[in-house]
Structure 1
């Protein structure tokens, strides 16, 4: 059936359809990425993004976004169809980044009302222009006309953009009448959205940036951001170099450790994908609790926790969690693990790739394949992280004596307080063994001399507090001796990892202009005193283990469950 037959109507009211399609699933960085894709497909080596702001209702907002590339440009026929939904010279190609013919059009309209494009091909002295304005299309339909795209014309570039146009071939795309730009948290102020744009583009196009393609935003060239830490010349490399120089430490080669890099067959199919799993370098992993500090945030480490990067022809199309993929769930330490899945466009259907090239939902077969690899590889990486953290603890004496001054202060305060009534049936040799075990748990046994000095140091303290690695879900463990209680604070417990440890990191920050470090130190001491006071209360009973062991266990279990369930508000 054609539209020329009597009584027929258009299959689609183009203007209204495009109005609906503005909610196509794009966020601002993914929309911008669609235009960059076109530039890359046209063999551009330099891509410049310029933003312009204006004041609207007393608030600054983006008013114009311009893309300039030095690619091959578009002839009149291609330029005329550039803004036509569904048109693509590479339609459904399995060898190119784009293939659906809708990306750049929907991307522009997801952000603003009007799209203009100017282009020049090699050997031509003319810059040609096309435009589409959604408001005009809606008006045309309201008047009974068909929303259409006029042929290319000679409308000149805006005067302020003329200096940017390449001397040879190239293209300028301009989005204007901007009305729908926000960052991931819903903020629309230009500063926020531009910062997020730079961050996202640096990761999405990291392979191209690392290969020499220049992408800049408002004159600032982007450095690639590689969550796997395999590339050179990255954002992380710059940040780490500056940090180590400032702290007087040696600057090295910041490469991630590769634990898996293989082409694997997808279960139940003949398809193959490449799976890369890495561990960030020790300079990034550092010590336990450092994953939330200022350096970690600058390195973008927290956002990597459990994230998997899906790379389609070296262009990232998704960076997010895949449910139930990591063994035993996602752990805090997993933020140091880089996880990439590389595939080619012929696997788009299996990968759940949408026409906006944003998001990937792997098929059941691929999910099972990735889960098997994760189960085989990630536990070993977690063990290596524990080893690095343990070494850092030893090198920095992080845990050694961290509660020492508090324990001695408690000893002084305890002189005038009720004394322990807990009975111990241990012999002198068994008590000595308890001290030796605690020295080992606290990392104070690197030599016989150190171990002996530690045991001698703690013998006269009514309470000995150490942060140790305890299996299970106990928040802490108590060992009541005759007139003394050993307190083991469990660093595996979610309370320690999510609350206590971040306070420790904050307390060590050198920032004279902020009261936060001092407040964090007081909070740590207060929490520790609560544990000591509980231990003191237990010691008032002659058989505290029989009386309170179950209570203590349930306390740790319920604390874990509550923190896990309501962590979003803490």
Structure 2
């Protein structure tokens, strides 16, 4: 039987298929990125994005988005095929950003129902135009007509956009009949959508922006956003320069670069293969690390620090295709402090399958060989970066401690409160020499021993207090450590413990600055919560001191309490 004897049906119902392909997995920033990819491949140096708004009922929405570049332009044949799904002059190339011939088409359909393109090649006076309208295509299919793209015509540029088109070669692409736009949080107001787009594009194309390619959104040039803080002239440099001017009281500060610290920057071979990748791991500069607990405040959010927690940036030909955590890659799991660590993986298109690259350039799922390679690097490097964070924070804590102890107000109040309470019954009393050594160690832990005079002043300050509380760096699972000195108990609160990091310290920051809360009593409530937690620890210490041999009796209890607290806080979160 030949095909002439058969009733042939098309393998694809074009209209219905294109409706389905609108669910391609794009969000608005990633869709915009596909058009920018084409402009870069067309050797453009300046890419402009113009957004236009409209009122739909009482709601303001994005009505049209236009992309104008000064690239090489397209001749008539290429222009007509530009909107054809699957067409690409670079199909399956391993030397270019795009290779599947679907990116920009799926991107436009994921946002709106119509796409127009105008283009002019070098040496030509004519700007040629093509379009595809999905609504018209569906109607044509219902009538039994062929759904396709007509040859280029001479329809002029929209009058209000003509001024942006380059004098020589270039291309303009316009999306209209927009009906599916929202930011990463589901918000569809134009301001939210633009803000999210700007943030994503600045990071995704940071290599090109740093290299001199301009991307302009509504007349404002994007600054590259670099999670490693190694590139110059970035968004972080701008924000920190402005913050420096604000805190110094000057109208403006001289622009400078705040350089990250490189912990790893090497080309490595993927385990079990002959393929190579380049891995960069870097730590944010001290101006961003600042002090412990500041990673979620207003400045950190402007710097986009919370977004970086555990994220791995996969860079394909210097274009980011994925920025997300990879399961079981960071040693001991992802920690809050990891938001200060930038982690980049550079590779070429020949590794697309190993990287799990999709045709919409969103996401990467590393193969086992690559995952093992990255895990080995992470296990070697990440702990060193974390230690450096602790060192910087420790210096800040010690500097702050010289000015005022974290717990000084409450320990002084406890002196008066304890006067009428039962007295300790501890029999394991240290000798005067042992007590002096204990004070020396405490002064060192608290950062109050820079000079003999400073240490002596500190000891004089605390020796008559019934309770001394200091936040220190304690190895192990202990939430706190107690040292009973007859009529005095020293409480060392462990800043490494997850309870301190996730509960005590954020509350303390909120009590001082008001945090991000909007209620009038947020700071007061946080202060009272800190008092309550501290007094719970003091009450426990007081209860221990009523036993003659508290260390022998309660040491294991304290250890298990700290360990179980950490486990529960790690496993249970945001259930109330």
Q: 1:81 Cα deviation (Å)? A: 0.5
Partner of residue 212, structure 1: 212
* Residues 544 and 550 in structure 2, CA contact (< 8 A), matched pair in contact too: yes
Aligned pairs for 1:352-371 (under 5 A) are 352-371=356-375
2:81 is matched with which residue? Answer: 81
Find the counterpart in structure 2 of residue 386 from structure 1: 390
CA offset at residue 152 of structure 1? 1.2
Specify the alignment match of 1:523 in structure 2: 529
1:113 aligns with 2:113: yes
The answer (yes or no) to whether the contact 1:24–1:356 under 8 Å persists in 2 is: yes
Map residues 60-209 of structure 1 onto 2, 5 A cutoff. Answer: 60-209=60-209
Query: Which position in structure 2 is the counterpart of 1:338?
Result: 342
The 5 A counterparts of 1:160-559 are 160-248=160-248, 253-397=257-401, 401-509=405-513, 516-559=522-565
**Where do 4+ consecutive residues of structure 1 move more than 4 Å?**
1-5, 249-252, 510-519
- Structure 1 segments unaligned to the other structure (5+ residues): none
| Aligned residues of 1:293 and 1:506 also touching (Cα < 8 A) | no
Q: CA deviation at 1:462?
A: 0.8
Greater shift in the superposed pair: 238-247 or 540-549: 540-549
Alignment RMSD (CA, Å): 2.3
Provide the rounded CA distance (Å) in 2 between the counterparts of 1:383 and 1:426: 34
CA 398–280 in structure 1, closer or farther in 2 if over 3 Å, else same: farther
CA displacement at 1:547 relative to structure 2: 4.1
Encode CA deviations 1:25-65: one digit per residue, 9 max, x unaligned: 11111110000000111111111111122223422222211
8 Å contact from structure 1 (residues 400, 442) kept in 2 = no
The separation in 1 between residues aligned to 2:246 and 2:360, in whole angstroms, is 43
Q: Is the 8 A contact 1:292 1:502 kept in 2?
A: no
CA displacement at 1:399 relative to structure 2: 8.6
Alpha-carbon separation, structure 2, partners of 1:307 and 1:508? 30
| Residues 53 and 496 of structure 1: CA distance in aligned 2, closer, same or farther (over 3 Å) | same
Shift of 1:546: 4.1
* Cα distance change, pair 511–350 in 1 and its aligned pair in 2 (3 A): closer
Q: Contact 1:47–1:69 (CA<8 Å) still a contact in 2?
A: yes
* Structure 2: runs of 5 or more not aligned: none
Offset, 1:510: 8.6
For the Cα contact (< 8 Å) 1:117–1:131, is it kept in 2?
A: yes
Q: What TM-score, normalized to structure 2?
A: 0.94
Relative to structure 1, the CA distance from residue 4 to residue 121 in structure 2 (aligned partners, 3 Å threshold; closer, same or farther) is: farther
Note the C-alpha offset of 1:320.
Answer: 0.9
Question: What is the distance in 2 between the residues matched to 1:201 and 1:238?
Answer: 17
* In structure 1, C-alpha distance between the alignment counterparts of 2:484 and 2:399, rounded to whole Å: 31
Q: How many residues align?
A: 570
Q: Look up the match of 1:38.
A: 38
Provide the rounded CA distance (Å) in 2 between the counterparts of 1:367 and 1:551.
40
Please say if residues 399 and 466 of structure 1, whose CA atoms lie closer than 8 Å, have aligned partners that are also in contact: no
Q: CA contact under 8 A between 1:110 and 1:180: conserved in structure 2?
A: yes
Contact 2:236–2:303 (CA<8 Å) still a contact in 1?
A: yes
Residue 565 of structure 1: CA displacement?
2.0
Q: Distance in 1 between matches of 2:402 and 2:458?
A: 15
Q: 1:194 deviation in Å?
A: 1.0
Q: 1:245 to 1:3 in 2, by over 3 A?
A: farther
> Given the superposition, is the C-alpha separation of residues 148 and 429 from structure 1 closer, same or farther in structure 2, using an over 3 Å criterion?
same
Single out whichever of 98-107 and 464-473 deviates more from structure 2. Answer: 464-473
The aligned residue for residue 570 of structure 2 is: 564
